[in-house]
Amino acid sequence: MRVQRIVTFALWLLQALTAAAVGGQGDPVDEYKLKAAMLYNLTYFVEWPGSAYPNRHSPIVLCILGEDPLAISLTTSIPEETDDDRPVILRHVQSDKEFAGCHILYISSSQRKTAARIVSSLNGSSILTVGEMAQFAAHGGMIQFSLEDRHVRFDINLDAASRVGLKISSKLLALAQIVKN
């Protein structure tokens, strides 16, 4: 009898209490698929200086330097086109001589020893540098992915980006943490 009463009360409680629908978390997703999706999503929030795109339908060139799990995920999850009808082209690069024409440069964690040097060698070209190695943003990288509490976070080095003429939408800044050099 007592059990029945408790059960009824609990059911009532479940019904009575409502929660604000803030948007569910759903099932967990693969970390690198998520980071790759976020990286491709970045293109909507970054404006390259006018000279970077000769015309509206020029492709966005994503260059990948080195290899790590995110690089592999980027290669396998390349989207057909971005929202404004711009295709994304993937290019694997081996050295800084091949950076010309890149819009985004993803520097894999395998290059951690030379990352700081690579970033400084870019020297004024409007390339958005992205990485996930430790201290990437602090050493001049523009966007650094990290994992915090089971969520993917990204740090933005706003100085480094604006110095080369890249404009980052405030919507993205709201979702990220800003880092100084």
- For residue 71, the minimal CB distance to another protein (Å) is 12
Spatial contact of 172 and 156, defined as CB atoms under 8 Å apart: yes
Please give the torsion angle defined by the CA atoms of residues 27, 28, 30 and 33, in that order, rounded to the nearest 10 degrees.
Answer: 70
Q: Decide whether 17 or 123 has the Cβ nearer to another protein.
A: 17
Q: Which is nearer to another protein, 7 or 100 (CB)?
A: 7
Query: Least separation, in Å, of the C-beta of 160 and another protein?
Result: 16
Helix (H, G, I), strand (E, B) or coil at 167: strand
Q: Which residues bind another protein (CB under 8 A)?
A: 2-3, 6-7, 10-11, 13-14, 17-31, 33-34, 36-38, 40-42, 44-45, 68-69, 76-77, 79, 109-110, 112, 133-135, 137-138, 144, 146-148, 150-153, 155, 171-172, 175
For 128, the enclosing helix (H) or strand (E) is strand 128-131
In three state form, how does the secondary structure of 102-120 look? CCEEEECHHHCCCHHHHHH
Q: For residues 3 and 55, which CB has a smaller minimum distance to another protein in the complex? A: 3
The smaller minimum CB distance to another protein, of residues 77 and 125, is found at 77
Which residues are registered as beta bridge partners of 148? 151
Question: Please, what is the minimum distance in Å from the beta carbon of residue 181 to another protein?
Answer: 14
Residue 76: phi and psi, rounded to 5, are -85, -10
